[in-house]
C-alpha cells in the first residue's frame, strides 16, 4: 500500500447523543493522491477527527465507501480491520508512549508480538536516528521533551512500513516552533518513505506546509485548496 491513494465516496457518519443526532460527516467526497500531504481544517466538532477515524477503520460509516489503495475499508470484517490498521501509521496529539518503556522499546512495541520480514530493533534504531534521537534510545518518556516524545511517536508510526500516515493534531501539544519542526519532519519522512499523509489540524501554519487543504464545517466539505508546495521526488 506504498503511497496509497485514498478515495471517499459520499461518506456519512452520524452519532446519537441522547435524543440528538450528530452529523459528524455528511456525504463527503474526497480523493487524496498517492504520495501527497493533505491537511483537514475546521473548527472543533467539524468532523476532522471523525474523518481520520473512519479512514483508519477506528470507526464505521453509516453510508458511503472508503477505498485505501486496494482495500475497500468499509467492507472489512472486524478481523480484517485489525490487519488493515496494522498497515497504517498513526500519530496523535497525545503521544501515547508507554511510560515504563525506553524510546527504542516504544518504537518496537507495535510489532513486537508479530513476525516481520525485518529486524525489529534494527529498524527502530534506524528510525530513531532518522528523527534525530539516536542518542536517546534508552531514555524513558519522562526524560524527553514534548517534541522528542512526538518524534518517538513518529518513528513508532513508521515501524511497519505504512503507505498511509494519519496524524490527528500532531502538533497540538507543542509550542509553535516545535510544531513546525515536527510537521517538517513528517514531510521529510513522506519523501523518504513514499507516504501519503492525512493530517487533521487547526493550525494554519501547519496546514500551509501541506500540498492541499480541505475545510470541514458541521461534517460538510466546505473548501478545497491546492497549494504549490513541492511534491516529493
Q: What is the mean pLDDT of residues 108-133?
A: 92
Exposed / middle / buried, residue 115 (Cβ in 10 Å: 0-12, 13-18, 19+): exposed
Compare 180 and 142 and report the one with higher pLDDT.
142
Task: Enumerate the β-bridge partners of residue 224.
Answer: 214
Q: Looking at residue 230, what is its pLDDT? A: 43
Q: Which residues contact 183 (CB under 8 A, 6 or more apart)?
A: 170, 171, 199, 206, 209
| pLDDT of 226 strictly over 60 | no
Each residue's pLDDT tens digit, 164-221: 999 999 888 888 888 888 888 888 888 888 899 999 998 888 888 899 999 999 999 9
The fraction of the chain above a pLDDT of 70, given in percent, is: 94
The three grid cell numbers given for residue 138, joined into one nine-digit string: 534508552
Q: Looking at residue 233, what is its pLDDT? A: 39
Chain-wide mean pLDDT for the chain?
90
User: Are 55 and 8 spatial neighbours (Cβ–Cβ below 8 Å)?
Assistant: yes
Closest CA to 50 of 34, 30, 33: 30
The fraction of the chain above a pLDDT of 90, given in percent, is: 69
Q: Which residues contact 209 (CB under 8 A, 6 or more apart)?
A: 37, 180, 183, 184, 187, 229
Q: Looking at residue 3, what is its pLDDT? A: 59
Q: Which residue has the cell 515501524?
A: 159
| pLDDT of 227 strictly over 70 | no
| pLDDT of 7 strictly over 90 | yes
Helix (H, G, I), strand (E, B) or coil at 5: coil
| pLDDT of 1 strictly over 90 | no
What pTM did the predictor assign? 0.89
What is the distance between the alpha carbons of residues 6 and 71, in angstroms, rounded to a whole number? 10
DSSP track, 49-109? HHHHHHHTTSS--SEEEEEETTEEGGG--HHHHHHHHTTSEEEESS----TTS-HHHHHHG
Closest CA to 111 of 146, 139, 85: 85
**CA 23 to chain CA centroid, nearest Å:** 23
Listing from the earlier edge strand, what are the strands of the sheet with 6-17? 20-32, 6-17, 63-68, 71-72
Q: Which residues contact 37 (CB under 8 A, 6 or more apart)?
A: 186, 187, 190, 196, 197, 199, 209, 210, 211, 212, 229
| pLDDT of 4 strictly over 90 | no
What is the distance between the alpha carbons of residues 42 and 188, in angstroms, rounded to a whole number? 25
Q: Looking at residue 193, what is its pLDDT? A: 83
| pLDDT of 232 strictly over 50 | no
pLDDT band of residue 154 (cuts 50, 70, 90) is very high
Amino acid at each position: 500500500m506504498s503511497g496509497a491513494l485514498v478515495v471517499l465516496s459520499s461518506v456519512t457518519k452520524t452519532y446519537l447523543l441522547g435524543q440528538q443526532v450528530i452529523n459528524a460527516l455528511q456525504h463527503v467526497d474526497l480523493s487524496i493522491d498517492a504520495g501527497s500531504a493533505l491537511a483537514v481544517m475546521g473548527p472543533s466538532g467539524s468532523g476532522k477527527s471523525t474523518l481520520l477515524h473512519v479512514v483508519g477503520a477506528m470507526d464505521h460509516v453509516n453510508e458511503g465507501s472508503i477505498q485505501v489503495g486496494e482495500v475497500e475499508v468499509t467492507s472489512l470484517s472486524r478481523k480484517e480491520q485489525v490487519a488493515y490498521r496494522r498497515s497504517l501509521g498513526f500519530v496523535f496529539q497525545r503521544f501515547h508512549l508507554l511510560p515504563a518503556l525506553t524510546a527504542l522499546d516504544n518504537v518496537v512495541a507495535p510489532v513486537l508480538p508479530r513476525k516481520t520480514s525485518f529486524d525489529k530493533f534494527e529498524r527502530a534504531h534506524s528510525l530513531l536516528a532518522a528523527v534525530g534521537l539516536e542518542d536517546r534510545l534508552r531514555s524513558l518518556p519522562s526524560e524527553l521533551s514534548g517534541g522528542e516524545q512526538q518524534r518517538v511517536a513518529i518513528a513508532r508510526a513508521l515501524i511497519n512500513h505504512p503507505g498511509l500516515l494519519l496524524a490527528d493534531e500532531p502538533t497540538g501539544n507543542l509550542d509553535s516552533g516545535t510544531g513546525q519542526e515536527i510537521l517538517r519532519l513528517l514531510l521529510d519522512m513522506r519523501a523518504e518513505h513514499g507516504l501519503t499523509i492525512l493530517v487533521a489540524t487547526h493550525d494554519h501554519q501547519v496546514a500551509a506546509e501541506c500540498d492541499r487543504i480541505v475545510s470541514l464545517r458541521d461534517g460538510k466539505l466546505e473548501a478545497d485548496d491546492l497549494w504549490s508546495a513541492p511534491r516529493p521526488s
